[in-house]
Structure 1
Amino acid sequence: MIVARNLSLGLILYYTWKKLLYYLIVSTTIYILHEYSGLLYFNIPSYTIAALGVALAIFLGFKNDHAYGRWWEARKIWGLMVNYSRAWARQATTLIIPNNEAESEEVHAFQKMLVYRHIAFVNALRVFLRRPHDYNVPKQKELFEEDNTYTDAIPFISEEEYQIFRYQNNPPNFLLQRQGEDLKLAFQKGWLSDYRFVKMEETLVDFNDIQGMSERIKNTPLPRQYTFFSKVFVLIHCTLLPMVFITEMGWKTIPIALIVSFVFLALDMVGERTEDPFENKLEDTPLSSLSITIETNLREQLKEHKDNYPPKYESKEGIIL
């Protein structure tokens, strides 16, 4: 997620320079042909490009509105993850009660296991959502791309469980299943009453819902026709621009057409890079930062020493992943 108020020129050019170069070449070529070759004379009415520009602006506005809606929904879903994670740690440490003093250490270890496994679940879900989807599209290399593997779960589950977990088709769901099985064990041992067992199971269902809502956004992209046609319409509009301006502006057509083209190009790219919030891009929902927040909160609820807390997540050049 970009948190800096101002974007660096280098970052902007990193994603736009190829298309801007194309528009510069088109504008320069049209100027040369119009002014010096005598072969072509462009006289396209201005109302033509104005009508196309209005239609394109409406189309891009519709696309960007829905793209932002998807991004904001993803952020709200992971806001719930933070809240329910805190609730889970509180339930694990207060609702699971030993039958006698002799079981205190065993119950404490059991409580810690449930909380730690949940931290593993949060990290696993982050990785699961950021995995490349199966659209046969090469994954774009990002400037700040993170290492995205399940190894972040290693400190929070046993080696035996990790070896089973890592080969699952849906690793996060596997961990939720293990949590449910251990709650059943705690109930059988008398550490949980019927009511407390049901309340903790309801929290696991909430985590299931969070995962399902996240997977819905991940696996159901914004209809691709919006992305495809927005690119086509921007290309047509920006290619025609210098043909309209050339008769009135002369050489000034080149910078003016380039500036107007950049505006429409930026509008198109904002929507394109916002519509899929779980792709490990600069503009994505900051799952890594939220995962660290959850781990820190849960370790604190376990009353661990601050030396065990993960390092605070710092932005890199105005970017939080």
Structure 2
Amino acid sequence: MIVSRNLKPGLILHYTWRQLLYYTTLSTLIVILHDVYEIVFFNIPSYTIAALGTALAIFLGFKNDHAYDRWWEARKIWGLMVNYSRAWARQVITMIIPQDNAEYAEMAAFHQKLVYRHLAFVNALRVFLRKRHLYNEPRQRELFEDENTYLDAKPFLEPEEYAEFVKKDNPPNFLLQRQGEDLKWAFQKGWISDYRFVKMEETLVDFNDIQGMSERIKNTPLPRQYTFFSRVFVFIHCTLLPMVFISELGWKTIPVALAVSFVFLALDLIGERTEDPFENRLEDTPMSSLSVAIEINLREQLEESQNNFPPKVKPQNGIVF
């Protein structure tokens, strides 16, 4: 997620230089043909581009509004992940109570097991959502988070469980299943009452809902016709711009057409890069940062030493993953 208020020009040019080069070359060519060779074929009435520009602005506004809704919903979903994770740790610590004092050591280990497995679930879901799916279009190399593997879940699982975990088609769901099985074991052992068992199972259902809502956003892209036609309409509009400006502006057509083209290009690019918030890109939901925050919170609830806590994720170059 970009947290800096100012974007570096180099970052902007990284994503727009090809289109800007095309619009600059086109404008220069039209100026040469019009002023040097006196070709007047390019004199297009201004009202045509005004009508097209108005329609395009409305179209891009509609697309960007829905793209932002998807991004903001993803952030709210992971906000719920933070809240329910804290609640889960509190429930594990306060609701699972042994009947015999001799079982307190076993109970403490069981508390840690459930909380640590949840930390594995958080990291696993983050990686699971960032895996590229088939509908994704080929994209150029970008700034990604360095690590996006299930190894982040390994420290929180027993070796046998981790070996089984990585072979699953849906590793996060496997961990939730294991959590439910352990709750059942604790209930049969008498550590959880009927009411407490139901309440903790409801929390696991909440985690299922969080995963399901995240998968819905991941697997159901913004209708591709919006992305395709917005790109086509921006291309047509920006291609016609110098043909409209040339008769009135002369050589000034080049900077003016480039500036107007950049505005529409930026609007289209913002929507395109906002609509998919789980692609491990620099504009996406900061799931790595939230995963670390959850880990710190839950290990603090277990009263572990802060010396063993992971460092908080800080923005790098105005970006936090």
- Provide the TM-score with structure 1 as the length reference: 0.99
Identity %: 75
Identify the residue that residue 127 of structure 2 maps to in structure 1.
Answer: 127
CA offset digits 1:37-65 (Å, max 9, x no partner) = 23453211000000000000000000000
> Counterpart amino acid of 2:275?
E
> Counterpart amino acid of 2:250?
G
User: Where do residues 16-55 of structure 1 align in structure 2 (5 Å cutoff)?
Assistant: 16-55=16-55
Answer whether contact 1:146 1:280 (CA < 8 A) is retained: no
Distance between the aligned counterparts of 1:125 and 1:275, measured in 2?
Answer: 19
Identify the residue that residue 112 of structure 2 maps to in structure 1.
Answer: 112
Partner secondary structure for residue 147 of structure 1:
coil
Partner secondary structure for residue 36 of structure 2:
helix
Identify the residue that residue 180 of structure 2 maps to in structure 1.
Answer: 180
Answer whether contact 1:86 1:297 (CA < 8 A) is retained: yes
Distance between the aligned counterparts of 1:238 and 1:124, measured in 2?
Answer: 44
Distance between the aligned counterparts of 2:10 and 2:302, measured in 1?
Answer: 44
Distance between the aligned counterparts of 1:70 and 1:246, measured in 2?
Answer: 40
User: Where do residues 101-250 of structure 1 align in structure 2 (5 Å cutoff)?
Assistant: 101-135=101-135, 137-250=137-250
Distance between the aligned counterparts of 2:107 and 2:232, measured in 1?
Answer: 62
Identify the residue that residue 92 of structure 1 maps to in structure 2.
Answer: 92
Distance between the aligned counterparts of 1:146 and 1:264, measured in 2?
Answer: 32
CA offset digits 1:13-32 (Å, max 9, x no partner) = 01100100000011001111
Partner secondary structure for residue 167 of structure 1:
coil
Identify the residue that residue 15 of structure 2 maps to in structure 1.
Answer: 15
Q: Does residue 1:58 correspond to 2:58, yes or no?
A: yes
161-170 vs 145-154, which moves further = 145-154
Identify the residue that residue 258 of structure 1 maps to in structure 2.
Answer: 258
Distance between the aligned counterparts of 1:318 and 1:136, measured in 2?
Answer: 26
Structural RMSD (CA) = 0.9
Answer whether contact 1:222 1:275 (CA < 8 A) is retained: yes
> Counterpart amino acid of 1:86?
R
Query: For this pair of structures, how many residues does the alignment match?
Result: 321
Q: Tell me by how many angstroms 1:145 deviates.
A: 3.2
Distance between the aligned counterparts of 1:195 and 1:69, measured in 2?
Answer: 37
**Gap regions ≥5 residues in structure 1:** none
Distance between the aligned counterparts of 1:285 and 1:77, measured in 2?
Answer: 10
Q: Tell me by how many angstroms 1:138 deviates.
A: 2.8
Distance between the aligned counterparts of 2:284 and 2:41, measured in 1?
Answer: 46
Partner secondary structure for residue 37 of structure 1:
coil
CA offset digits 1:96-154 (Å, max 9, x no partner) = 00111110000100010000000000000000000001126335422243321000001
Q: Does residue 1:4 correspond to 2:4, yes or no?
A: yes
> Counterpart amino acid of 1:67?
A
Distance between the aligned counterparts of 2:38 and 2:145, measured in 1?
Answer: 51
Answer whether contact 1:132 1:139 (CA < 8 A) is retained: no
> Counterpart amino acid of 1:131?
K
> Counterpart amino acid of 1:256?
V
Partner secondary structure for residue 99 of structure 2:
coil
Distance between the aligned counterparts of 1:185 and 1:283, measured in 2?
Answer: 43
CA offset digits 1:214-271 (Å, max 9, x no partner) = 0000000000000000000000000000000000000000000000000000000000
Distance between the aligned counterparts of 1:201 and 1:291, measured in 2?
Answer: 22
Distance between the aligned counterparts of 1:140 and 1:114, measured in 2?
Answer: 40
